[in-house]
Amino acid sequence: MIFYLLIIISLITTIILFSFRGVLPLEPENKNKKLKFFLLIVVCLIATSLYINLSNYWIGSSTLEKLQTLTNIENREANEIAIVRELMINLEKELSDTPTKSIKKILELAEAKFFLGYLEESLALYKQARELYPDSINIMKAEAQVRVLLESGNFSKETFNLLRDILSIEQQNVLALYIIGNYEYEKKNFSEAYKMFQVLNRLLNEGTQEYNEIRKKILEMENK
């Protein structure tokens, strides 16, 4: 937007300078002053454009992109997002150009999309990765994490099955214990909930909100 604004300003300046050229008689001295002023504006615009285009301080592949984003090297968070976004675009291109799917690139792309908030696309990639490596606990945990964020408490049967599969391999997985334990608690299956909460109680940091919540439910079940 700023780039277009600069162009508009320069055009308006040019029009104003030349619109009165044939209307009002100008003295040579005044004419020279206006011409010098116009040239000064043009030089400033060119110098500014060259600085932005050649400078490594502003992030972007072109002058227009740098002016649109207005992100410099000191903006760490924006730089990280820009780097991950560029990585995502490159990985998408590589995967589309390669007939044989690389599990490493699929996972990298899934992580990049997760970082940028494209949760549904990230989930689709993790599911694709799990089809290639169904017994990988790391892929299962990554997919479960995305599912939990996407479903926001309204967990699907597929998500519960995945969490149970994780627990069968990793008995002290905090996320799976917490979600399945609370599910069993709400269903009044207190024996299962109690066992999971006891394990979870040892894993959570004392004094945290989750610890206090689980501890309270354990005491409630013990008093019944």
Each residue's pLDDT tens digit, 94-125: 777 676 678 888 898 899 888 888 899 999 99
Q: What is the CB neighbour count within 10 angstroms for residue 220?
A: 11
23 part of a folded domain = no
Is pLDDT larger for residue 116 or for residue 164? Answer: 164
Each residue's pLDDT tens digit, 8-33: 555 555 555 555 455 444 455 555 56
Q: What is the CB neighbour count within 10 angstroms for residue 90?
A: 14
Among the ranges given (35-44, 57-66, 134-143), the one the predictor scored with the smallest mean pLDDT: 57-66
Q: Which of 125, 152, 179 is the last residue of a domain?
A: 152
Tokens of 153: 């408490």
CA distance 132 to 183: 30
Each residue's pLDDT tens digit, 173-200: 999 999 999 999 999 998 899 999 999 9
Q: Do 145 and 88 fall into the same domain? A: yes
Distance of CA 54 to the CA centre of its chain: 28
Average pLDDT score, the chain: 77
Domain that holds residue 117: 78-152
71 part of a folded domain = no
Bridge partners (DSSP) of residue 58 are 72
